[in-house]
Structure 1
């Protein structure tokens, strides 16, 4: 009798716990793709991740670049992500000594090939490879475009590449982005976060940069095809302008249904990344380049102008002298 009562009691107590343990996508964190403090590792190895370039780790932060010129740093996950639908949350901070001029920014990647940067001209996209294959979400702090953007910086943009597109740094990638939005994430005293969600062939980026403890949608891009089995990474770079770029945590969640057929994800393993839509302006239009004769032409026109003015003054002087002589003759 006591045994049966004990079993009944345990059943009643444990039932709420069982009921609350039903599947929840937000609780299924992929630990092999995540990185949480305190950080432990040695050398360039860190909790399933690798550090590249100027990046180094303490117990509480990973600094991709210091506030110094010409730095490139990267943080790359060693394990590919096989989820078709996933979500990535990054706790970060961008700050520096610059008041009006600072840069360049950092990028979050889901790509086929983890970057081997720094080193070489190919490492031109915020410390990672140009002509990459996959998705890049770029958090750009400096406006490189001499023309006029219809947005403010700092700026977040998403780019999907199959290996054939060039990220035009001088145009801030505006002709190849699938979507973008302004977000004032630099120089905040409080914590700043960005979340990238890929679900149902749609990339959505959220931010929490206003210390509201709530996500605000920044951009969304439907019609995005991404394969499974790609790698996550975060890279940053400075040039003549500088900033400190730090990462405090990376959390990746599996959004696939637990009863989803594994064959569905397998079908996505070998597809090429693609986007059904690119934001205007998609086409790159070069700035008009001055011809070799432009300087000579300007000098020639200035010289002609001086000669014309001097000639006019000379002729006017002669005319004035003759007029005075004619006036004297009439008086005498």
Structure 2
């Protein structure tokens, strides 16, 4: 999926490239824009109308060109949340955003998050939204908390372990995990990548794609109209019926965090019978081969032969125990009669 040109931003040549690439893929998908889950200009009624599909929270504000989650001011937080739960099985969320402000280098913060969670409109410490959430969080983090703390304590990162900020990461939470701000979410992240997204003169995009239990995140931030891989994680189980939203927060440092559009596409994907069985409905967010507190890995269903053998040997053991019991009881009775004689 890397370097795939989006037709709506790349013109006729991009459309031709996209068609050729899709024709070469064994797995075909169709895309359909879902307006009830999309936020686009001119943002009519957002946050101010009972008929609006989106709610504003905190310091978020709407203009004709963008929805500003937080202004370039200290100690602000804001969010925009979709009112309609999403029941799509496979989907793609394209985020057109802009982060800019007066701060230089790392003197800016703190970033924003894109959410697909059970609860909505819940303010909190994780980029302006609640901790211990149920669902998926994708974080565009512009301030390296861990690095600054380690510098203050005169520590060094292990070789090859340093991350360059701004940094994009993702987290799946079953409600029991805490986002670790001091370590920039490192203990619970599914993966991540560096993304230099501040104060750019061209458009910046992020896409979250969820297909067949695979979570893929790509970015287009270089002004080249092509996607670059960031995160690719199979075995991600997300329940349906959750809400999309995005939130931001500033502290002592700040930035303007602007959302220009959120476009959700329904993906129609062919599945084999095995894939249909594997991709059954789930009721709690979980990631295969990752242990989340409070959630046990689901047991594989037993085959018919295994179940038969268990029942058969259990019956044999029961019969054997009964026979042994009868023999012991008869011996005991014989010994009792001999004592009376």
Q: 1 CA distance for matches of 2:271 and 2:162?
A: 45
- RMSD over aligned Cα, in angstroms? 2.6
SS at match of 1:197: strand
Q: Distance in 2 between matches of 1:72 and 1:233?
A: 14
Contact 1:178–1:277 (Cα < 8 Å) also in 2: no
Displacement after TM superposition at 1:202 (Å): 1.1
| Corresponding position of 2:248 | 236
Cα 1:38–1:250 shift into 2, 3 Å:
same
In structure 1, what is the Cα distance between the partners aligned to 2:250 and 2:127? Answer: 8
Quote the residue 2:100 is aligned against. 95
Q: Matched residues in 1 for 2:221 and 2:46: separation?
A: 32
Q: Which position in structure 2 is the counterpart of 1:124?
A: 125
* Corresponding residue for residue 312 of structure 1: none
Question: Could you tell me how far 1:27 is from its partner in structure 2?
Answer: 4.0
1:31 corresponds in structure 2 to: 35
Contact 1:228/1:265 (CA < 8 Å) preserved in 2?
A: no
Aligned to 2:179: 167
- Size of the aligned set, in residue pairs, is 251
Compute the displacement of 1:275 (Å). 1.2
Quote the Cα distance in structure 2 between the aligned partners of 1:48 and 1:94: 24
Cα distance in 1 between the residues matched to 2:195 and 2:91: 23
- Structure 2 CA distance, aligned partners of 1:223 and 1:42? 35
Q: Which runs of 5+ in 1 are unaligned?
A: 1-23, 118-122, 284-332
**Shift, 1:47, TM fit:** 4.0
Residue of structure 1 equivalent to 2:164 = 152
Q: Deviations for 1:59-109, whole angstroms, at most 9, x for unmatched residues?
A: 221000000001110010011111111100010000100013100000000
CA positional deviation for 1:38 = 1.3
1:271 matches 2:283: yes
For the structure 1 residues 76 and 116, does the alpha-carbon distance in structure 2 shift closer, same or farther, using more than 3 Å as the test?
same
**1:268-306 Cα distance to aligned partner (Å, 9 max, x none):** 2x5100112559xx99xxxxxxxxxxxxxxxxxxxxxxx
Contact conserved, 2:196 with 2:221, CA < 8 A, in 1? yes
Q: Which residues of structure 2 form unaligned runs of 5+?
A: 1-27, 151-156, 294-341
Structure-2 separation of matches of 1:206 and 1:38:
26
SS at 2:96 equivalent: strand
C-alpha deviation, 1:35, in angstroms: 1.2
Q: Secondary structure at the match of 1:90?
A: strand
The structure whose Rg is larger is 1
Among candidates 96, 112, 120, match of residue 114 of structure 1: 120
State the distance in 1 between where 2:103 and 2:260 align: 22
Q: What's the offset of the Cα at 1:150? A: 2.0
Note the alpha carbon deviations across 1:214-247, whole angstroms, 9 max, x for none. 1111111111110111100000010001000001
Q: Judging changes above 3 Å, is the alpha-carbon distance between structure 1 residues 194 and 94 closer, same or farther for their aligned structure 2 residues? A: same
Distance 1:69 1:222, change over 3 A: same
Give the conservation status (yes or no) of the 8 Å contact 1:88–1:196: yes
Query: Is residue 139 from structure 1 mapped to residue 145 from structure 2 by the alignment?
Result: no
> TM-score normalized by structure 1?
0.70
